[in-house]
Amino acid sequence: MRRAIIIQLLGLTLLSQAALALDVREVRWGFDGMVVPERFNLLSVLVANNSTEPFDGVVTLQKNQGLADAVGAAYEQPCYVAPFTERWIQFYPYIGMENNWRLAWGKHRDEQASVDTPKQGPPARVFLFDPDNPIAAHSALRLFPDHLFPTSVAAADGLNSVVLDHAPRWEAVKRSNSSPSPG
């Protein structure tokens, strides 16, 4: 009996260490660092797994009111991050007048991160560029990396226009959702 309890505690400790290993490296609101009020907006979050165990769970974006009171529906994204790697996760929250947000991937305080309040602005005009091409990083327009372009047209609600000078190397789902429909 005592041995079973020790094994369970050890298992819980290992599980909590894997969950705590997730780290928020970068947060990008919209296409140009701003959101458009009263619309769905893009939120891109770069997370890293700093442990030897993979993270396989759900990352939740929740609107907050005050210091810790969650309001409204939570946005959830399933997420798998291999050990010592990083990955972009995207959310498409509706932005009203309240702009306090929190990310969570567990119940403990160490498994949460606050998200900076986004700046509000008009729909974005951006240059979609390939970050692997050093020449493409020069434009009078705001730059937006092509690999972060969303797969859903609903996520482009905060976008006015986009300029590109290359065919992005997108996976099949992104190519099919961004192509104009026939007829």
pLDDT tens readout for residues 39-70: 999 999 999 999 999 999 999 999 887 655 77
The ranges assigned to domains in the chain are: 2-178
2-11, 42-51, 88-97: which has the highest mean pLDDT?
Answer: 42-51
Lowest average pLDDT, out of 81-90, 101-110, 122-131, 161-170, goes to 161-170
Quote the pLDDT of residue 142.
85
- For residue 10, is pLDDT > 50? no
Spatial contact of 26 and 112, defined as CB atoms under 8 Å apart = no
Q: Is 110 helix (H, G, I), strand (E, B) or coil?
A: helix
The whole-chain average pLDDT of the chain stands at 81
Quote the pLDDT of residue 139.
67
- pLDDT tens for 96-134 read 876 789 999 988 888 999 998 889 999 999 988 888 776
Does the predicted TM-score (pTM) go above 0.75? yes
Quote the pLDDT of residue 12.
46
Mean pLDDT, residues 128-154: 80
Mean pLDDT, residues 166-180: 63
Pick the CATH number of 2-178 from 2.60.40.10, 3.30.750.200, 3.30.70.1170, 3.40.50.1950: 2.60.40.10
- Tell me which of 35 and 173 has the higher pLDDT: 35
Nearest-Å Rg of the Cα atoms of the chain is 19
For the beta sheet containing 159-164, the strands, ordered from the edge strand earlier in sequence to the opposite edge, are 142-145, 124-129, 159-164
Distances (CA, A) of 141 to 107, 120, 137, 166: 41, 18, 10, 16
What stretches of the chain adopt beta strand conformation (E)? 22-29, 34-35, 39-40, 43-49, 55-65, 69-81, 86-91, 94-95, 100-104, 112-115, 119-120, 124-129, 142-145, 159-164
Distance of CA 40 to the CA centre of its chain: 14
Mean pLDDT, residues 159-170: 80
Quote the pLDDT of residue 182.
46
